[in-house]
Amino acid sequence: MIYLDHAAATPLLPAVRIAMEPYLSDQFFNPSALYLPAIRVREAYENARQELAMALGAKSAEITLTAGATESIHLAFQPFKNVIISDMEHPAVRAAAAARPNSRIVRRGYITEAIKPDTELISVALADSIFGSIAPIAKIAAAVKTERANRKKSGNNTPIYLHTDASQAPNLINLNVARLGIDLMTISASKIGGPKQVGLLYAKAGVELTPLISGGGQENGLRSGTENVAGVIGFATALKHAQGHAHANQKHYNKLTDEFYKHFHRDFNLLDEYCILATRTGKTLANFITIIAPGIDAERLVYLLETKGVYVATGSACSAKNHEENPTLKAYGYRPEWIFGYLRITLGSTNTLDQMQPAAEAILDAIRTESKRIPADTLKFIQQETKRLAIV
Amino acid sequence: MSGGVDSSVSALLLKEQGYHVVGVYMKNWSKSLPGAKCPWAEDLADSKRVATHLGLDFHVFDFEKPYFDRVVTYMIDEYQKGHTPNPDIWCNQEIKFNLFLDTCLAHGADLIATGHYAKTEDGRLYRAKDDKKDQTYFLSRVTAGALQKTLFPLGDLTKSEVKALAKKHGLHVAQKPESMGICFIGEVGIREFLSQYITAEPGDVIDQETNVKIGTHDGAVFYTIGQRHGFHASSNLPYYVVKKDIKNNRIVVSQNLASPTLWYKSIELRDLHWIDDTTDQTGQPTELQARIRHQAPLIPATLTDTTLTFTTEQRGLAQGQTIAFYNDGQCLGSGIIS
C-alpha cells in the first residue's frame, strides 16, 4: 500500500496510542467526579491542555477542546455577525460563515482590503486543503492590527479578530500564536497522527466565545459533554510531535517530493505536456503535490490507482462525493475540464523514499490510460490552453 | 450500470465477448426521504468504479424529470385511485426500454444491455435459466422493437454464478447486498414514500363478517388487497385486507382467508400489451399461463377478449396489478387488472 492522502486522515502515531491507552481502560473515570482516581484523570486531562497550549505558545485558558475541527470552526464563528472568509476555505468554514447574519467570501490576496468598519471576524486557512497553499497570515494579521488601532482612534468599539484554520499545517508550520499574530485558531488531531473527532479552538484571552452545546458546563462552559480524555491526551502527544518535527518534516517531504517529481518528470513528455503540476512554488506545504490532468475524470484515476494499492484524493475529501465543482478550484479560475482532473497527493508519516518512484509511475500510468479517452477536439483545446497556462 | 452486481457482471461479460462496451448510470432519483438516505451517490460511485476497472467509458444520464413525470406520477395517481401499480414495470416500459434506449441509440450505440435475468431472441422474451431470479414479469410491457436492440448477458446464468464471476474478476460489488424496498428510492417502504405526495387521513377498519368498526388505519391508499399487517385492529388474530373503499377512506378486513372477496376465478384486464406487435392482427392467444406477481408460479388460464379466467381461484389480486402472460418459456406480454 502506498497511502498518499494524509490530508484526509492519518494513522495514530505509536506514541499517541501508548499515551491514550490507559485512559481507554484503567483510567476511565469521569474527570468531573470527586474521588481521587477521577481527580488524577482530571489532572492528566488538564496537563494535556497545558501541553497543547505550550505547543502553541498559548495559555491553558485559551484552549477549548472540541470534537474535531469543524466544531472548533463553528465555535469560533458563533459570536459574530459580520464575517469575511477567503475563497480557499474548507467547506466547514464556508458553512460556519454562511450561518452568520452577514458573511462574504473574498479572494485571499485581497481579503484585508475587504475589511469594513463593522467587520468582526476574518478567517483565512493557514494552508488550504486543495493546494496546501500557505496564506500570508502575518501580513493579514498586521492589517487586522492596524484596523484595530484605527478603530480605537476613531472611537469604533467593534472588535475585529483573525481566525485561521490550521488543520493542514501543524506538521510543517510553527504555530506559535504570537508569531502568527492570529486571535483564533483551529487545529484537528486526526491530521497529525492523533485520533479523529478531537480538535481545539485557540481563542486569545479577551475574545468572548459563545457555546454551541450546553449542559454540564465542561470546557469552562464553552463545550459541555464529558471530556474526551484519551482523545485529548493523544492530541497533545500528536501536536507536540508535529511541532517538534516541523523542521525535519520539511526536509523529509522536500526529499520525497523531489524524488516523486524526478520520476514524474522523466515520463512527462510522453503526455505531450498536457498534464499540469499545479504547485511547487515554495509557498505550499511541502507534503502537498497537486496534479491536474485536464480532460480526465480524476475520480477514475482514484479507482485505477486503488487497484495498485495507491490511494490519492480528488477535491477535498468532504466534497469528493458531492459531484459538484470544487469552489476553491473554481475560485482559481479553472475550467471544468481542469477541475475534474484535479488529483491531490499529500505525503505523511506512512511514506518512505522508495515509495515515490512506484507512486509516480502508477499515477503516470493511470493518467496515460485515461488520457486515451479524451476526445480529440477536447485534447487539442487542452493542449493549447496548457501551453498558455504552463504552471509547471 | 446501477452499481449492483448484476449490471456489473453484464458489462464484464460483454467486454469479454468482444463488444465495445460503454457504461451508463441512469440517475432517476436522488431525493432522500425521512429515515432513508437515497443511495444514488454511492451507487453512482460503485458503477463508475466498476466501469473504470473494466476500462469502459462511462456516462451519467440524468433522467430525474422524465422518471418523475412518467413513472412516479403514474404510481402516485394509481395509488390515489386505490390501485396497486408496479413502478419497476413502468420504469422498464417508459424509461429503460424507451427513453434510455433512444438516448443510447442517439449517442451512437448499436445495442443496449441490462443486468436483467431474462433471455431475448428476435424480439421475443424468454424466461431466464435461473427460475428464482427470472425477471421477465418486470419486462412484460417492453416492445419487440426494444428487445431487438437489447442484450441480456445474464439470461443463462444463476445468481450465484454471477456473484462468483464478480468475485473471480475482483469486482468489489460482488458482496453488495440486493437493494430492497422501492427500486429507485432505496431502503424505504411504499408508505413513507407515498406520505410525501399524498395527504392521508386515518380511517375506519371494518370487519367484513360483522360489519363493525374494529380499529383505525393511517389512510386507505396505503393498503393492498390481501395485505395482512399494518392497521390497528383490536384483536390478536390476523386480519387480511379484502376491500378498499377509497372514497370513504375505509378498509374492509376479514379473518377468513377463504373470504370470497379475496379469491377470484376470473378477472377483467385493461391495457393489454403484446410483445409481438403483430398479435393484434394474428389474434391473441386464448390458452396461456399467467403470472400474477414477480416470482409467482405460472397458472394456466384462458383469455377471452379482456377476461382472464384461471383454472383455480387466485388470492391477492388488486386493481392496477400487472398480470404477465406466458407460453411456457416465453413471456408474451401482460395486462393490468381493472
The full 3-state SS of A52-101, as one line of letters, equals HHHHHCCCHHHEEEECCHHHHHHHHHCCCCEEEEECCCCHHHHHHHHCCC
The CA distance from B282 to B279, in Å, is 5
Same domain for B88 and B173, yes or no, is: yes
**Distance from the B48 Cα atom to the nearest Cα atom in chain A, whole angstroms:** 7
Average pLDDT of chain A is 91
Flag the least confident range among A170-184, A249-263, B184-198, B293-307: B184-198
State pLDDT tens for residues B102-140.
999 999 999 999 999 999 999 999 999 999 999 999 999
Which residues, other chains included, contact A216 with Cβ-Cβ below 8 Å and sequence gap of 6+? A32, A224, A225, A226
**Does A308 lie at the interface with B, CB-CB under 8 angstroms?**
no
Q: How many domains does chain B have?
A: 3
Does B49 contact A369 at a Cβ distance shorter than 8 Å? Answer: no
CATH number at residue B235: 2.30.30.280
Q: How many domains does chain A have?
A: 2
* Cα of A104 vs its chain's centroid, Å: 21
Residue of A nearest to B57 (CA): A373
R_g of chain B computed on alpha carbons: 21
Q: Is residue A204 part of a domain?
A: yes
**Does A372 lie at the interface with B, CB-CB under 8 angstroms?**
no
Q: Is residue A8 part of a domain?
A: no
Looking at residue B139, the DSSP 8-state letter turns out to be G
Minimum-distance CB partner of A307 among B48, B53, B57 = B53
Does A323 contact B55 at a Cβ distance shorter than 8 Å? Answer: no
Burial of residue A258, with CB atoms counted within 10 A of its CB: 0-12 exposed, 13-18 middle, 19 or more buried: exposed
CATH number at residue A270: 3.90.1150.10
- φ/ψ of A271, rounded to 5, equals -95, 15
CATH number at residue A187: 3.40.640.10
| Contact call for residues A279 and A261 (beta carbons, < 8 A) | no
pLDDT at residue A318 greater than cutoff 50:
no
* Owner of C-alpha cell 498559548: A58
Same domain for A262 and A212, yes or no, is: no
Q: Is residue A302 part of a domain?
A: yes
Max intra-chain CA distance, chain B: 67
pLDDT value for A278: 56
Q: Is residue A269 part of a domain?
A: yes
Same domain for B186 and B204, yes or no, is: no
Flag the least confident range among A106-110, B48-52, B193-197: B193-197
Same domain for A256 and A236, yes or no, is: no
pLDDT at residue A102 greater than cutoff 60:
yes
pLDDT at residue B311 greater than cutoff 60:
yes
Give the range of the structural domain holding residue A200, as residue numbers without chain letter.
14-244
What does the pLDDT average to over A286-308?
Answer: 91
> What's the pLDDT band for A319 if we cut at 50, 70, 90?
very low
CATH number at residue B53: 3.40.50.620
Q: Is residue A1 part of a domain?
A: no
More confident residue, B43 or B256: B43
Same domain for A142 and A55, yes or no, is: yes
The CA distance from B100 to B5, in Å, is 20
Cell of B155: 439470461
> What's the pLDDT band for B280 if we cut at 50, 70, 90?
confident
**Does B49 lie at the interface with A, CB-CB under 8 angstroms?**
yes
Same domain for A178 and A299, yes or no, is: no
The CA distance from A32 to A89, in Å, is 36
Interface predicted TM-score (ipTM)? 0.84
pTM (2 d.p.): 0.88
Strand partners, B309: B266, B302
Q: Of the candidates B240, B231, B230, B292, which has an alpha carbon nearest to the alpha carbon of residue B261?
A: B240
More confident residue, B254 or A53: A53
List of chain A residues whose C-beta atoms are within 8 Å of the C-beta of residue B48: 299-300, 303
Report the percent of chain B where pLDDT is more than 70: 95
| Known catalytic membership, residue A318 | yes
More confident residue, B203 or A231: A231
Same domain for B243 and B326, yes or no, is: no
Q: B interface mutation test: which of A303, A306, A368, A372 has the most B CBs within 10 A?
A: A303
Does A300 contact B52 at a Cβ distance shorter than 8 Å? Answer: yes
| Contact call for residues B234 and B217 (beta carbons, < 8 A) | no
Q: Is residue A5 part of a domain?
A: no
- What is the CB neighbour count within 10 angstroms for residue B236? 5
More confident residue, B283 or B39: B283
Same domain for A229 and A309, yes or no, is: no
**Does A303 lie at the interface with B, CB-CB under 8 angstroms?**
yes
**Distance from the B49 Cα atom to the nearest Cα atom in chain A, whole angstroms:** 6
Give the range of the structural domain holding residue B217, as residue numbers without chain letter.
200-254
Q: Is residue A7 part of a domain?
A: no
- φ/ψ of A235, rounded to 5, equals -60, -45
Same domain for A173 and A68, yes or no, is: yes
> What's the pLDDT band for A44 if we cut at 50, 70, 90?
very high
pLDDT value for B105: 97
Q: A interface mutation test: which of B52, B53, B54, B56 has the most A CBs within 10 A?
A: B52
Given A98, A178, A270, A318, the catalytic residue: A318
Report the percent of chain B where pLDDT is more than 90: 61
**Does A304 lie at the interface with B, CB-CB under 8 angstroms?**
yes
**Does B55 lie at the interface with A, CB-CB under 8 angstroms?**
yes
Q: Is residue A140 part of a domain?
A: yes
**Which of B233, B254, B275 corresponds to the end of one domain?**
B254
Same domain for B241 and B278, yes or no, is: no
Element (H, E) at B330: strand B330-337
| Contact call for residues B294 and B309 (beta carbons, < 8 A) | no
Same domain for B77 and B176, yes or no, is: yes
List of chain B residues whose C-beta atoms are within 8 Å of the C-beta of residue A304: 52-53
